[in-house]
Structure 1
Amino acid sequence: MGIVSTMIRRLNLEYTRKNRKENVDNNTEDDDKAIIWPWKEGILFNILFLYRKAYNLSLFEAACKLDIQEETLRLYEHGEKKISLPDIEKILRGYGIKIDGLLPELISYNGGKTYLPLKKPFHFVINGMKFDIEGVKFYQRVADEWYYDWHKWPMTRYDSTGKPLLNYMPDELTVDEYINTDELAYIKDDLENYYEKDLTGLKLPPNYKYLLEKPEKKEGVKYSGYRYTVDNIELTNDYQVKAYVLPQGRTVAFDLTEYVFSDSPWYNMLQDKEYFFKGNFQYIGEQMPENQCIVWPDGQYIRFIELYMDKYKYRYFAYKFGTAGNDGYDVWTSYYWDN
């Protein structure tokens, strides 16, 4: 929803902003108040405040635990000060987390070597506690609402310690970074046109093709629906998956080489056999047949509905209804079929 604030500014519309002084001063000690996040350029959103709540720490106790000055920690929590690299190291060590656990906008598509602030997360689990920053007002913006601002282009890439690296434009992103990011991140200052990356000639993983194609329901075609349930899977040395599928009660083999040997650096990680065999069956989002997937530790996924659609091209299971976010993935193909 960062586009809302952008449009307000561009159109010179008036709005009422809560007085920061009355909402921020000492509010990390008061569960009834929320942090007003200022979105200062160059400061990434952090969830230090949520870690304090999850571990039931006062500001003073957290400062002692992390060996950071109390006032400095307060400024970090409120987005008023950029977290220094030495303090990032202390925080990661103190809470036993990685950089994207502290700065949740950061996402990596190369095994955690580098990160870009391309993600807009709303749900967190810390120390066994679940937080929904949209539903419960831990952080606020204008008129008691929470939404993310997109960072400006060129966008800074970071290493695993939070150190800033080079700046990138959208056409310099990898195919994985570009395709898996909400298109609102690419809107230009005129609010009409978008930055684009030329994907011509690239061999994309099949799920990316579904993400990119326009929603379409073919005239005169009855979409039978996808109602299969995968009971268990076996990954093989020749990059196939054998799935025992119900209600047929039989094993179906699917070739995964179009994913493994595509022009996606992220999916190329599956070429490593040791890593490939770490894939496991799970639902992404709700436990519905269309959300049955093979998922790898770094987040690569392959959906069984799309494996079926690719294997049986002349059987119309479902059509693309659109794209939306789904359980940690900001871009996810939504399917629909006839009743």
Structure 2
Amino acid sequence: MNLRMSIFYSGALIAGAFGNLIAAGILEGLAGVRGLSAWRWLYILEGSITVVAGIVVCIFLPDFPQTWRALTPEMQHVANRRLALEAAEADTDEEGVSSQLKGLKLCIADPKVWIFAFIYMGLTGAQGFGYYFPTLTRTLGYSHYISLLLVAPPHIFITIWSYIHGIVSDRFTTRYWFCLYPAVISIIGFVVFMTTDIFGPKYMTFFFMMFLMNINGTLFSWIAGVVSRPPAKRAAAYALINSLGNSVSIWTPYTYLDKESPYFFTGIGICVGLIASAAALMTLLRFILIRENNRLASSENDDVQLTQKELAKLEKSARVEGVSLSAARALQKGFRYTT
């Protein structure tokens, strides 16, 4: 899961690398062509690619196994069963609008969703430095075009590293530590950026800062392993986490003050605070999940009486998997939240 999410989020990293290279070429070569400014050509070319890709994805990307026509009924059943076993309950919703409202209520009532939302808020706020990357590289003392070119190497490096990061995280099936170490490295990068003017160390800080971008794929893989079922709750959780997380972008762009160049103490200092807050919430969440896993382990005893809510979930999973209640309970033993 982490590798797949890393590949997904690497799209933004690749865009950051080659987008600035393309921008440098467009700004230098297309200014005034057909009476259009260079920035207009930049929007036309990059925007056209985005629109075409979006249409293709909308047509071919399936929503669920049961809605993908390329799968046979037997393959759909196997895929649904695997999803149910991974999450210890069926990956299906009740029909009707009430199901969506129920999913929303489950989402709002789950404290883990809110913790994830505030973690993502801290990360997104700190990642706002990416919008100012050419401005930050300009502090190295080079021209506008060279500054755009200097943006590419850190993005290319972290794109490659994100794949390695995702593979290792999946191998160890853990998320917390793979969210924490990039946060620590990026904090070091931000702090050193504010304290040095030497080209080598200052340019190296950009590579350290970019480690922050590795956390996105790992965080959403973590969410998938914690807030997984039912689908209506999962959808509401992703919407809530994304909307709250991205809301911080309303004010963070105003923290990079021209008068504070080349150190940008306010903007960079806020980044450090946001990352530290996110790391603290990650640690809190890990302790909560460890406690939940201990509770799940104790409930695996067959002599323990299931609650009505737990029994309803079990009946739903048994119905989807086509097995008895006792068989469904046996199959679901061993489920734990990803920590």
Q: TM-score, normalised by structure 1?
A: 0.20
The structure with the largest helix share of the pair is 2
Greater radius of gyration (CA): 2
The structure with the largest strand share of the pair is 1
Q: TM-score, normalised by structure 2?
A: 0.20
